[in-house]
Structure 1
Amino acid sequence: MTDLTGRHLIDGTWTDGGETFTSDPVSGDPMTVCNGGKAQIDAAMKAAEAAFATYGWTSREDRALFLEAIAEEIEARVDQIVEVGMAETGLPEPRLRSVELPRTANQIRLFANHIRDGDYLDRRHDEALPDRQPMPRPDLRMMQRPLGPVGVFGASNFPLAFSTAGGDTAAALAAGCPVVYKGHPGHPGCGELVALAIHAAIEKTGMPKGVFGFVQSNSTEAGEALVTHPLTRAVGFTGSFRGGKALFDLAMSRPEPIPFFGELGAINPVFVLPAAQSARAGDLGTAWAGSLTMGVGQFCTNPGVVILQDDADADSFVEAARSALSDVQAQPMLTAGTAEGYRKGVSSLSSAKGTQAHLDPSAEGRNAAPALFEVAGSDWLADPDLAQEVFGPSGIVVRASDAEQMLDIARNLHGQLTATLQMDEGDTDAARPLVPVLERKAGRVLVNGFPTGVEVAGAMVHGGPFPASTNFGATSVGTLAIRRFLRPVCYQNMPEALLPADLR
């Protein structure tokens, strides 16, 4: 069993630095954690820049072996990671042991295989045409090259899959970019254990010491320093809209702006079409309630809004959802701040014009209970605040007066991570006008099922138009995520000896 220290990992050395803070676990003893700031970020970023001189030119095979070593080292620590993660976050053992940790290791291995394949490099070659008239053409070769050091922020709701060795870190390391990671204060012990695994993989594979830096922090200083540091070439972020937007603005206001890939959440609307509503309204209401409360509603793809047509079948949907949600007990949220934010969001919905509450979501302290509201489509369209994300197990049913109002609701949506159509065979004509609208609103459009559960695969898109994310042309899940940390470089008339190895 590894003793946790609450320290930073900078240039291959575990070090103190900054004041300290005390963690706030759901159970067990709190730990004292170093609260890093500008000085620690500066040291880690300088080490990352020094490492890039080597790591940015490693072979794809060497980086693949490094990634695989990280996955192996994480799996070797599974028991302690799960134990500490459960205590810090309140997440159940099956979620951490059987879902999130395997997903974390598997997506790292997915990137190892992806870079071995080499297609991501998008290599192109236009041979010289010295005799072309009226002017000759030079020899042109192009490929994707790594940006340099990348800053990554840990996510509160995924202590493994979107945190220390999560998708952003894996994609950046696969691309050839060193990573400086700002730990999330909600799970500092879990973060340290995974950082230990990465450190062990660095030593096992002989990678440069500064290729991964880990800075614990419970203040805004470290995050702001990470975004504004002149050596930072890009940032990956998963979190709240308010925090992400503030960091995005910092990235854009730098003397040299950098890409800020922020995944900021969404309400992930579900449109129930007439034939499906008539045939299975009750079943859909029950299934939606299950998705809504999964993980205490703390998924960025949580389907917080359902739009259906106002009729007797809509009553059946609402009653089935209310019945299922009333059986769900209050459960602890990831942090006390998350629970307080949930209560404020529910209170705002309760006081909004035209909303009707079907459950009493009152809960104390860090716990949260489900909330269910309904509202007429006209009131929804009149009040943009109803479309704000409430992070937690709260859902709202919007009763559209007809198909045209349902389409108006779709047109008035902000950018989303997902949009879902619940439909049966008879709904094709009803779906046809919705699909082109939803395609422009969401990064992933799905039919039937619910969006919670993001498959880690080559075709996955986890992102969407603003405010779901800050860069609609990117994804934070799937192999395409690697492109965020690459840029195309053209080599003109370059001697072969000076070309990157993958272009020779």
Structure 2
Amino acid sequence: MAAEPVWSVDPRTGKPREQVAVEATADEVDRAVRAAAATREALADRTVRAALLRTAADLLDEAGPHVIEAADAETALGPARLTGELARTTAQLRSFADVVDEGSFLDIRIDLPDPTTTPPRPDLRRWKIPLGVVAVYAASNFPLAFSVPGGDTASALAAGCPVVVKAHPDHPATSELAASLLRRAAAKVGLPEDVVVLVHGFDAGVELVRHPLVAAAGFTGSIRGGRALFDAAAVRPVPIPFHGELGSLNPVVITGAAAEERAGEIGAGLAASMTMGQGQFCTKPGFVLAPSGEAGDRFVSALTDAVSETEPGVMLDHRMRGSFLTGTFERAELPGVTAPVMPGPGGPHTVNAGFLTVDAGALVKGEHDTLLEECFGPVTVVARYDSQEQITAVLSRLPGNLTATLQMAEEDPDAAALLAELTPLAGRVLVNGWPTGVAVAGAQHHGGPYPATTSTSTSVGATSIERWLRPVTYQSTPQHLLPPELRDDNPLGLPRR
């Protein structure tokens, strides 16, 4: 059977632009993984790994105009947004180079022997080593920062793991360009180009997670797709870690005092956050608990005004556009649901942002569970509550999330209790902010309880490197046999405990 072509498609028109590649066969996936695995020894040198990451960042910056043009043609995200995303992507690469140089990610711990303890303690030296080949599944909504040159790839290379990336079908040309730059960076620093390999195709993604030489996987995408791959990773003869970011509602609770204090500001802020990137951020606030009464009415009025002023926009592809239109129509048709601004088609290829409202009491009764599911695109649901008990009851029905936000007043008697209720729901809890925008920082956590993610790890920030490492302890091992990182004289000057 002939390999299926991979086309680059213009989301502004729905028309194919060019054939970029062909879908990888099972044999081609096997060769890709084996080629990547053969580079593990070359990646062992931390100095070279850091140089690879910095060189990749430099080459992406140099090719910036071409990268942005390619990504915009396939995603319609716009040059301004993509310029920022490219800067974030190269900053991530350089940040992980610094992590590699600094060395604390190795988590070196040394316990010297002590015969006086019970039981006697031998000489123990622990550090972390790379797992092996990492499969990376690129995201649709971030063609750079969560795709071929993104955080999963950067952190895996920093850990010393070669990468095989399954390109997202929404931006194959951008993926090819980014992969070529990463491979060129490898060659420039003296590494084999196959430290990064790119494959295309749905079947290739399934073959990848099943391959015996793949040691871990990172995924950003839908619950359905991510769960299928997670299950495949778990039923392998040798199961592997699968770090999947799947979906998130990102609830927001607005206290009565906050609505009294700044209803207009909160309404405008929510509108900006939920429509950012056409509502295609994984951290979009998709569900809001707002008070009933006059202050809540003012918030809804401000939200109505702000959302009504947004222009129609193009989504990442026509399949997502269709799902958005179907999902919003089904939700708007539910009994008791109103649409102050009806989301829907803005033209043949665009959508209009909107939001829906419902009485929180209906959700407490277990009605309209669809409203508690993520709808990808520029829409949010506002549930009006009458009491703190209703807030608690609704929050108890929510799944795990990437974020949870509390909008509170300066002196707010309900804040402490609500913050405690939101904390178990999410990996990042915000106060008086909006969840769109994820800073790349050491203290960042981009993950959360299932189905937000399939593990407790983060996919953003320095600690995301931990996903691709495993600890090993050497016991009573002669100095000359120890890795230099664990020897008494610490010749590499690494931090250790």
Q: Same fold (TM over 0.5)?
A: yes
In 1: Cα distance, 2:485 partner to 2:402 partner: 35
> Secondary structure, in 3 states, of the residue corresponding to 1:300?
coil
Q: Does 1:407 align with 2:389?
A: no
After TM superposition, give the deviation of residue 193 of structure 1 in Å: 1.1
Aligned to 1:69: 55
After TM superposition, give the deviation of residue 385 of structure 1 in Å: 2.0
In 2: Cα distance, 1:468 partner to 1:410 partner: 15
In 1: Cα distance, 2:117 partner to 2:438 partner: 53
After TM superposition, give the deviation of residue 29 of structure 1 in Å: 6.3
Q: Over residues 355-388 of structure 1, what are the superposed CA-to-partner deviations in whole Å (9 max), with x where a residue is unaligned? A: 1112232314442211210011111232322110
Q: Over residues 217-250 of structure 1, what are the superposed CA-to-partner deviations in whole Å (9 max), with x where a residue is unaligned? A: 2xx2011111111111110000111111111111
Number of corresponding residues: 480
Q: Does 1:234 align with 2:219?
A: no
Q: Does 1:110 align with 2:110?
A: no
After TM superposition, give the deviation of residue 458 of structure 1 in Å: 0.3
> Secondary structure, in 3 states, of the residue corresponding to 1:39?
helix
Contact map agreement 2:183 2:195 (CA 8 A) in 1: no
> Secondary structure, in 3 states, of the residue corresponding to 1:489?
strand
Q: Say which of 356, 360, 371 aligns to 1:377.
A: 360
Contact map agreement 2:184 2:193 (CA 8 A) in 1: no
After TM superposition, give the deviation of residue 283 of structure 1 in Å: 1.9
- TM-score, with structure 1 as normaliser: 0.92
Q: Does 1:186 align with 2:173?
A: no
Contact map agreement 1:309 1:403 (CA 8 A) in 2: no
In 2: Cα distance, 1:117 partner to 1:353 partner: 58
Contact map agreement 1:309 1:406 (CA 8 A) in 2: no
After TM superposition, give the deviation of residue 208 of structure 1 in Å: 2.6
Aligned to 2:471: 488
In 2: Cα distance, 1:19 partner to 1:497 partner: 54
> Secondary structure, in 3 states, of the residue corresponding to 1:184?
coil
- TM-score, with structure 2 as normaliser: 0.94
Q: Does 1:52 align with 2:40?
A: yes
RMSD: 1.6
Q: Over residues 145-190 of structure 1, what are the superposed CA-to-partner deviations in whole Å (9 max), with x where a residue is unaligned? A: 1100000011000000000010000000000000000111111111
In 1: Cα distance, 2:117 partner to 2:314 partner: 73
> Secondary structure, in 3 states, of the residue corresponding to 2:173?
helix
> Secondary structure, in 3 states, of the residue corresponding to 1:468?
coil
> Secondary structure, in 3 states, of the residue corresponding to 1:18?
coil
Aligned to 2:28: 40
Residue ranges of structure 2 left out of the alignment (5+ in a row): 488-497
After TM superposition, give the deviation of residue 216 of structure 1 in Å: 2.3
The AA in structure 2 aligned to 1:424 is A
> Secondary structure, in 3 states, of the residue corresponding to 1:31?
strand
Aligned to 1:300: 282
> Secondary structure, in 3 states, of the residue corresponding to 1:44?
helix
Relative to structure 1, the CA distance from residue 42 to residue 365 in structure 2 (aligned partners, 3 Å threshold; closer, same or farther) is farther
Aligned to 2:460: 477
Q: Say which of 282, 286, 296 aligns to 2:268.
A: 286
Contact map agreement 2:52 2:185 (CA 8 A) in 1: yes
Q: Over residues 87-106 of structure 1, what are the superposed CA-to-partner deviations in whole Å (9 max), with x where a residue is unaligned? A: 11101111111x10000000
Q: Say which of 124, 127, 152 aligns to 1:168.
A: 152
Q: % of aligned pairs identical?
A: 44
Contact map agreement 1:261 1:470 (CA 8 A) in 2: yes
Aligned to 2:231: 249
Aligned to 2:411: 426
The AA in structure 1 aligned to 2:67 is I
447-456 or 35-44, larger mean C-alpha shift: 35-44
After TM superposition, give the deviation of residue 495 of structure 1 in Å: 2.7
> Secondary structure, in 3 states, of the residue corresponding to 2:5?
strand
Contact map agreement 1:51 1:208 (CA 8 A) in 2: yes
> Secondary structure, in 3 states, of the residue corresponding to 1:425?
coil
The AA in structure 2 aligned to 1:374 is T
Q: Over residues 25-62 of structure 1, what are the superposed CA-to-partner deviations in whole Å (9 max), with x where a residue is unaligned? A: 2359611121123222111111121111332x22x222
After TM superposition, give the deviation of residue 135 of structure 1 in Å: 5.9
After TM superposition, give the deviation of residue 347 of structure 1 in Å: 1.7
After TM superposition, give the deviation of residue 111 of structure 1 in Å: 0.7
The AA in structure 2 aligned to 1:23 is S
The AA in structure 2 aligned to 1:36 is A
Q: Within 5 Å, which residues of 2 pair with 1:21-420?
A: 21-26=6-11, 30-32=17-19, 33-55=21-43, 57-58=44-45, 60-97=46-83, 99-129=84-114, 131-132=115-116, 136-217=120-201, 220-363=202-345, 364-381=347-364, 382-383=366-367, 384-420=369-405
Contact map agreement 2:256 2:296 (CA 8 A) in 1: no
Relative to structure 1, the CA distance from residue 124 to residue 357 in structure 2 (aligned partners, 3 Å threshold; closer, same or farther) is same
Q: Say which of 437, 440, 460 aligns to 1:453.
A: 437
Residue ranges of structure 1 left out of the alignment (5+ in a row): 1-16
Contact map agreement 1:126 1:141 (CA 8 A) in 2: yes
After TM superposition, give the deviation of residue 280 of structure 1 in Å: 1.0
After TM superposition, give the deviation of residue 404 of structure 1 in Å: 1.7
After TM superposition, give the deviation of residue 391 of structure 1 in Å: 0.4
Aligned to 2:493: none
After TM superposition, give the deviation of residue 210 of structure 1 in Å: 2.2
Contact map agreement 1:85 1:190 (CA 8 A) in 2: yes
The AA in structure 1 aligned to 2:483 is P
In 1: Cα distance, 2:395 partner to 2:445 partner: 20
> Secondary structure, in 3 states, of the residue corresponding to 1:459?
coil
Relative to structure 1, the CA distance from residue 134 to residue 82 in structure 2 (aligned partners, 3 Å threshold; closer, same or farther) is closer
